[in-house]
Structure 1
Amino acid sequence: MTSRAVPGFEAPSDLRMRPPGASVIGECLRRQAASPPRSRLGTIFGRSPLSSLARPWYVGALGEIAVGRLLDGVGPGWSVLHAVPVGCDGGDIDHLLIGPAGVFTVTTLLHEGEHRRARDRDPLYAAGVGRRAVAEAARAARQLSAAAHLPIGVRALVVTVGARSLSDHASPEGVLVLRDRDLTRWLRSAPQVWHAGDVARISSIAARPGTWMTHRGEHADPVDVPAFVRLRRQVRRAAGTRAAWVAAGALAVPVAVAASIGAPVVAAMLP
């Protein structure tokens, strides 16, 4: 994303300070801020506060946050960077993982709950994501190798969040697609190719914004994570309100039916 000043927030000089989903969170909040707020009636009936423009970015942020938590918990010896901004075209790497098994770019696909999108189940869409993931890994390898002054291979991973199976995913050669539940186990069991000293050195180089930015002086966007947390709470609260109204409506139907049946009975008992 292009850099924008956010009052009270400073862009980190070490990309290890970036939270998961930072880029998409920033874009979500910008689009949400440009949308009119819910009406009082909409709030009462649980209308989602998310605008149609912000929703895709919100969904993307949820996926990146979920995978980011898994990567942060892989264990000692691993280093992970989130939302790594690349170049000056607004692109970023969802996650960059560096550890004993090598260097990986990690792309996220969300398949969970109400946010499961039909296109994510489409093999052609999955293949398109895979091709972009391969190109992203190749670009990361070029830039990381140039900054480190030695060849560094980068593998592409696509992680699906909430997918029951991967049978409908057609992936090109050069990318590995994993379910979120399998990610940690796979990484821990992968063959070792880097020693601890190598991991530390590569991680330090990868954490520099200058490794990825096209022009000197560019930096990663700051992001207002608390604002996104508040938005997420509002979305959940609205969903709870809608569920309560649905439950109330379901209860009202049998009550109304019972009342309609009971009225003639009561009338018949009257003198």
Structure 2
Amino acid sequence: MTNRITTLGHDGPVEGPESRATAIGALPMTLRARRPGYGVMQECLRLQSQVPGRTRAQRFWGVDPVAPAAQSWFKGALGERRVAAELDRLGPAFTVLHAVPVGTGSTDIDHLVVGPTGVFSINTKNHSGQRVFVGGGSFMVGGGKTSHIGAAQSEGRKATRLLSAAAGGSFPVQPLLVVAADRITFGKKRAPVVVLRPDQVRGWILGQRRAYSDEAVRYLSMVAEERATWHATAFAPDDTLRLEQRFDRLLRQVEDARVRRRRAALAVVLGVIGLPGAVLIALRGAATVLLGS
């Protein structure tokens, strides 16, 4: 028999299932343990494992350690981490979940926020270094069309259906698109999904009208953090800490490579001033081959 508990929603009393936390011994495992960017970090590291490590010479010259196939996943993970840092500043009145698994496969919601101002599914896009145009249903990156608007809408509808079913009432989830880009231009026609920069998302959520009582927020947070609310597989022992440590190691390698490239560039500049021509040509040639420029 499923126990029921009663709490207050935005339309009055509602009923929903009691928390279904799966436990190892007495320790419940919920989605609070998931770290931001879990899915994209996992795919990035999987692709990284399929390529050979850098040679000593490549490490010396600062060749980028991230494999070409893993570049977009690496960039995506950085974007999700940046947005997570903003969301974590919302304060104790809000519950923030990351990489929420949805459906039956590996699809996830980048971030889910539950608080007094509502429930929000957040789709993060890292288009740093590019220009973005948003107008009506169009979301263009560098002049190319994307499916970001439709994907965010679909994510919001699915999240609404799953949360409402689990909580035993009608609880809309508003989709947001949070985009990192060099420049975002908005057209005259408003997009059907709210589009924000990472530094805007916290203020926007806090600035919405109150939608739920404190009691309702506690209840919805309890339901939302259970994996069974969202995914067909109610429990999976994700070792998110170990995965994050591996990704952090890769990030340190990327930073070290960037420093080494700068040193190599400086050496070339100094060579222009004082090194013999033959040495300079050899230095430039080695840098060209190893750095791929």
- Find the partner of 1:249 among 237, 257, 268: 268
Taking the TM superposition and a 5 Å limit, the aligned residue runs for 1:1-271 are 13-112=29-128, 116=130, 120-122=141-143, 124-125=145-146, 128-167=147-186, 172-173=191-192, 175-215=193-233, 217-219=234-236, 221-223=238-240, 224-255=243-274
CA contact (8 A) 2:131 2:184 kept: no
User: 1:3 maps to which residue?
Assistant: none
Q: Which AA in structure 1 matches 2:253?
A: Q
Larger relative helix fraction: 1
Instruction: Give the superposition deviation at 1:161.
Output: 2.1
Q: Following the alignment from structure 2 to structure 1, what is the Cα–Cα distance between the partners of residues 51 and 189?
A: 37
Q: Deviations over 1:24-79 (max 9, x none)?
A: 11111111112110111111110011111222111110000000111011123111
SS at match of 2:186: coil
Instruction: Tell me the TM-score normalized by structure 2.
Output: 0.76
Give, in whole Å, the separation in 1 of the partners of 2:238 and 2:142: 32
Question: What is the CA-CA distance between 1:243 and the residue it aligns to?
Answer: 1.3
Higher strand proportion (structure 1 or 2): 2
Shift of 1:167: 2.8
Relative to the length of structure 1, the TM-score reads: 0.82
SS in 2 for 1:75: coil
The one-letter code sitting in structure 2 at the alignment partner of 1:203 is S
SS, match of residue 54 in structure 1 = helix
- Tell whether the 8 Å contact from 1:157 to 1:177 is kept in structure 2 after alignment: yes
**Relative to structure 1, is the Cα distance of residues 24 and 171 closer, same or farther in structure 2, using a 3 angstrom cutoff?**
farther
8 Å CA contact 1:109–1:120 kept in 2: the answer is no
Q: Deviation at 1:177? A: 0.1
* 1:123 CA drift (Å): 6.1
The whole-number CA distance in structure 1 between the counterparts of 2:204 and 2:49 is: 40
Question: What secondary structure does 1:151 align onto?
Answer: coil
Contact 2:38 2:99 (8 Å CA) reproduced: yes
* Matched position secondary structure for 1:90: coil
Specify every segment of 5 or more residues in structure 1 that has no aligned partner in the other structure, as ranges.
1-11, 258-271
Residue 251 of structure 1 deviates from its aligned partner by 2.4
Residue 94 of structure 1 aligns to a residue whose secondary structure is strand
CA contact (8 A) 2:37 2:110 kept: yes
Return the alpha-carbon distance in structure 2 between the equivalents of residues 67 and 44 of structure 1: 33
Q: Distance in 2 between matches of 1:85 and 1:219?
A: 10
RMSD of Structure 2 on Structure 1 (CA): 2.5
Deviates more, 1:220-229 or 1:243-252: 220-229
CA distance in 2, matches of 1:38, 1:227: 17
Q: 1:169 and 1:199, CA in 2 relative to 1: closer, same or farther beyond 3 A?
A: farther
Residue 240 of structure 1 and its aligned partner are, at CA, apart by 1.0
Instruction: Provide closer, same or farther for how the CA distance between residues 121 and 225 of structure 1 changes in structure 2, counting only shifts above 3 A.
Output: same
